[in-house]
Chains A and B, each alone.
Chain A
């Protein structure tokens, strides 16, 4: 990776966590405060990390704190605003699988350009609803609308076109076993773009650096730990720079440190790109700090939906039980 902290000439492309991690130095609280101050002075605020880097060297921890602060402000602000445009909408979606009703007349809206978390107990239909968003599953009844296009009405070709706006991280990572890490991440670029090999190699190396896996290029999926697989899958989802990113449990099964790092990475990516993101997560209550909007999906129905700061305070006993993970309450543990 790059040597000591170096600011690219195009400041419009702020540096990412991983890149900054490499060339880190020392930074005081005063410097962070100064950076925050400068950020509030700017009419078009830069990323906090970017400002900090511009002002001098930085430790990863300090950058993470700065990121969390920045995103916390944004979350609070989101709750006070009227709802933004809708990127994805479900209207009365029903789906039965193996004779069981998995989604039962689900209506939901994913706000555009925001991070939405879907939470709920296992088997509640979260992954299934994510697969509906990208057209991997079709509803038995009801409509799935992406932007202004109803997926059920599209020809296969049009559906493929819509899918190009997406990328998805699958719950089980879904890396290709026959390819090494580098080829896995390069795959969507090689197949779906006309970029030359040198550009692809550069993008892949950069993205792998961002997820903290610079040295793993030649490893095969079966040689990776669960956490590394998730991060490779995340890199593969991010490398194509889609408009909508669907992340199915990107932190499940990871240790708290990596979980935290991935949340920061997602947040950093979001602040840099403003993609629409949908994250399925069991990382409760942490995930509330890393999303604007929350949907609670329980037994095939949307139980609650709204800004994270609002849902977190919801008096609904089911939601409270879920947030606190208590064994007693309306959700019966069999």
Chain B
């Protein structure tokens, strides 16, 4: 029993220490973003990797999300005789929730895991030590551009997700289920407020920070060889996804 308590104490202490550690890591990396030298080439490379290379999968996810929402929404709403509200329902769900969240989850899976893996390999192959030995700050050189690129990419990807998702809804609702195009767009125009878009942007920016932060942290502190890299990737993806969902709940509860 005492052993259990002691273990519990030690575990929570370790967890506490780790949280502080992660927070420090974030602070130092952000410090690295604002201080020269600025390595624009690194940043550009990361934007291409995180942003542009994720485009296809985001468009695909968005289209099907919008389509299934319209389909579901149509059948549910038609029971209440309010199938005219399919447009706003699709738009609000996507812009406020599904756009930012699914984009963050897709980017975590595609780019976040790669970030953790890449940094993990650099750690175990002593490439991070090599940077240090040359007098280069690896947080600034490796982590800062990824955080920056993620902060820039996620809002843009989310915006694209939102637009494509609403278009996907249009495809199903209007082209497939025969709703009038005017009802679909008119409903959206009437119900979608500037505040909804603000929520979308705030969410996507903070998700961008979470994804890059967690994934680079996990990769950066990889230990124990190739197996460790695998573990870092798993932890990065799981923790980043969970944090995104928890944070999403917080923001939603505050902003709505």
Contact = CB atoms under 8 A, between A and B. Distances in A.
Interface of A: 131, 134, 136, 160-161, 163-164, 166-168, 170-172, 174-177, 187-188, 191-192, 240
Contacts of B137: 160
A44 to B, nearest CB: 33
B133 interface: yes
A174 B127 contact: yes
B4 interface: no
Q: Which 4 A-B pairs have the closest CB atoms?
A: A174-B130, A174-B126, A163-B135, A160-B135
A167 B134 contact: yes
A174 B129 contact: yes
Nearest to A156: B137
B133 A136 contact: yes
A192 B136 contact: yes
B50 to A, nearest CB: 15
19 contacts: A131-B129, A134-B133, A136-B129, A136-B132, A136-B133, A163-B135, A164-B135, A166-B133, A168-B133, A170-B130, A171-B126, A174-B125, A174-B127, A177-B121, A177-B122, A177-B125, A177-B127, A188-B134, A191-B136
Contacts of B136: 191-192
Nearest to A163: B135
Contacts of B122: 176-177
A176 B133 CA distance: 13
Nearest to B45: A178
A71 to B, nearest CB: 27
A192 B125 contact: no
Contact of B126 (A160, A164, A172, A240): A172
Nearest to A166: B133
A170 B133 CA distance: 10
Interface in B110-140: 121-122, 125-127, 129-130, 132-137
Contacts of A175: 127
A191 B130 contact: no
A168 B128 CA distance: 13
B132 A192 contact: no
Given A170-B126, A177-B122, 13 more contacts: A136-B129, A163-B133, A163-B134, A163-B135, A164-B135, A166-B133, A167-B133, A170-B130, A176-B130, A177-B121, A177-B127, A191-B134, A192-B135
Contacts of B130: 168, 170, 174, 176
Nearest to B134: A188
Contacts of B135: 160-161, 163-164, 192
Interface of B: 121-122, 125-127, 129-130, 132-137
A191 B127 CA distance: 15
A131 B135 CA distance: 14
A170 B129 contact: yes
A240 B122 CA distance: 22
Contacts of B134: 163, 167, 187-188, 191-192, 240
B65 to A, nearest CB: 34
B133 A172 contact: no
Contacts of A191: 134, 136
A167 B130 CA distance: 9
Contacts of B126: 170-172, 174
A177 B229 CA distance: 16
B220 to A, nearest CB: 15
Contacts of A170: 126, 129-130, 133
B120 to A, nearest CB: 12
Contacts of B132: 136, 163
Interface centre among B125, B129, B133, B137 (most CB of A within 10 A): B133
A240 to B, nearest CB: 8
Nearest to A161: B135
B228 to A, nearest CB: 13
Contacts of A188: 134
A201 to B, nearest CB: 17
A329 B133 CA distance: 38
Contact of B125 (A160, A161, A172, A187): A172
A136 B134 CA distance: 11
Nearest to B39: A191
Nearest to B127: A174
Interface centre among B129, B134, B136 (most CB of A within 10 A): B134
A163 B136 CA distance: 10
A166 B133 CA distance: 8
A176 B125 CA distance: 9
A5 to B, nearest CB: 35
A284 B162 CA distance: 66
A48 to B, nearest CB: 32
A187 B133 CA distance: 13
Contacts of A161: 135
A164 B134 CA distance: 6
Nearest to B130: A174
A168 B126 CA distance: 11
Given A163-B134, A188-B134, A192-B134, A176 B127 contact: yes
A168 B136 CA distance: 13
A153 B83 CA distance: 72
